[in-house]
Structure 1
């Protein structure tokens, strides 16, 4: 049964071919390296190809930076078969318990201990869609968690969303989220480099210099390499 499904791409019982899913397994395109990458990053919208509906085929605002606006086939599949953007990737996911423990140490009240009458204006904290607790100083908590993510202590795949209007702080660490790289701009009023990129030419030169010095580090201990490393330690 499994061999038949892998060979034909019709996922389901051989006898019930009508109800089987088509195209689950495909032969990987190996014409060129670019066509292989394109095939591996292809997405499919489960909408009937025969319908003349224009709405599912059109670009949506949420596609910005995640889905390529140009790469789509002609004909019936136009706009339904899409491709991920060049620098876009899918999150692998990581364990959420360390961030919950960290926030608990940083004065986050767990949901079981929360009394709404005592602290009605507290910000709700959600981890992967689950309400885990509340925090009275959300601005400070968000800043600390952002710093930890930027210096590599927490996973770079972690998504942090603060909704000031609804008083919510959402953290996502699960797998299957479509992500893209972004430049960080300093928005602290007290900082002299406000409205400027945190990634400067000086940092770029340091990283370039470090890359050139990697060959001279043979025979160094792990501690020496870590202390001399300026960039990402992942």
Structure 2
């Protein structure tokens, strides 16, 4: 609704607002005039003498007030329409944000699934300044797809110093990053490569604050496609 149309409606509404005080004063003056009652009685008769019903002044007052109330309500309705806010023309819908990858489930751990078996351990050669976390995988069938993820909690002083695996480096893509309070190592088998049955180790190496480091919050997860049927399998666990 434009401002010009609002202005026209507002002026129209104000013009219909009755002056209640003026109307009451006019009624009082009419009832106070001398001879009014007589003239009213005379006007109450027709030429044939038939009496016409006339309204007494209290009824006139009540009728006037009722009319004023009706006009006031109508005017207020118009004013309300004038001041009602316009609805938004182009409401913007809020699209839900994309969910990020959740941390792998580790509660209770699952060390074996189909042809896969796995275990997490802190390498015995770790010391007071540096550590290595090993994920040992045993496969009973060839793997045509494999993702190994190692998550090291970012306790004091944790900093990546490298990673390795017992399989050829050319067979895997390795990514290392900090994410959600963890140092994350991820080995992904390249398309067209396979992992033969047997035992394989994937290790992440990192510095840490001087002294013993608590590995309770560290986790791992392995997802693989195994066998000629291409069935999926997943195992996970911790280092506590």
Q: TM-score range by the shorter chain?
A: under 0.3
- Report which of the two structures shows the higher radius of gyration computed on alpha carbons: 2
Q: Which has the higher contact order (CA 8 A, sep 6+)?
A: 2
**TM-score, normalised with respect to structure 1:** 0.19
Relative to its length, the structure with more helix (as a share) is 1
Q: TM-score when scaled to structure 2?
A: 0.19
Higher relative strand content: 2
